[in-house]
Structure 1
Amino acid sequence: MVRSSGSVAANYIEANEALSKKDFLMRVKICRKEAKESKLWLRLIKADDLEDDRAKLEQEAHEPTCIFGAIITKSGA
């Protein structure tokens, strides 16, 4: 979980320092992929005491996926 969510941030920083539009889009696509993976890991958590928090965290993981998807679409990929 920590690795995939940390990768979103690291790749977003790299996207902002991209050398070309193609490089930017590739890194944003990686961000979207890692955000989806973070959501998957949250779905796999089965602890009863985290049930309410898990739904909130899943939504938090879904939002960057939508944001990165919109960036990709608007960038012409």
Structure 2
Amino acid sequence: MKNELLNRTKKFALDCWHFCFKIPKSREYNAFVNQLIRSSSSVGANYRASQRAKSTADFINKLKIVEEEADESVYWLEIFEEILSGQSEEKIKLKQEGKELLAITVASINTAKRNRK
């Protein structure tokens, strides 16, 4: 499961990058593109960091960052749904993957908290 999530979080960042690459270049779009690229890549980077945590508390703290960044990525994808015409399959898949990564992360945090007690 660990390697699967490492790969999934990296793929999510790359898929968001490819999505953003196709968005027209303008001052207005660029602000949102930069935010999505930052948050989606942070999901994978912080999940990877969580795998090297020094303690359970450190692990949970790093996963909380993953949770925040996954949620933010979903937010930016929702913004793109509003401002880009049409419901593309790519947007739908990216948003679904963001929500799934968010749910997995929350479940992992809850499990880590229960196991800590």
Whichever residue aligns with residue 111 of structure 2, its letter is: K
Instruction: Kindly state the Cα deviation for residue 55 of structure 1 after the two structures are TM-superposed.
Output: 1.8
Whichever residue aligns with residue 10 of structure 1, its letter is: A
1:32 to 2:67 alignment: yes
Unaligned runs of 5+ in 2: 1-35
Whichever residue aligns with residue 14 of structure 1, its letter is: A
Whichever residue aligns with residue 58 of structure 1, its letter is: K
Greater relative contact order (Cα 8 A, min sep 6): structure 1 or 2?
A: 1
Distance in 2 of aligned mates of 1:69 and 1:18: 17
- Which residue does 1:66 correspond to in 2? 103
Query: TM-score under structure 2 normalisation?
Result: 0.61
Secondary structure of the residue aligned to 1:18 is: coil
1:41 to 2:76 alignment: yes
Instruction: Kindly state the Cα deviation for residue 62 of structure 1 after the two structures are TM-superposed.
Output: 0.3
- Which residue does 2:26 correspond to in 1? none
Larger radius of gyration: 2
Distance in 2 of aligned mates of 1:75 and 1:20: 11
Instruction: Kindly state the Cα deviation for residue 31 of structure 1 after the two structures are TM-superposed.
Output: 0.2
Query: TM-score under structure 1 normalisation?
Result: 0.91
- Which residue does 2:33 correspond to in 1? none
Whichever residue aligns with residue 94 of structure 2, its letter is: L
Residues paired across the two proteins, number: 76
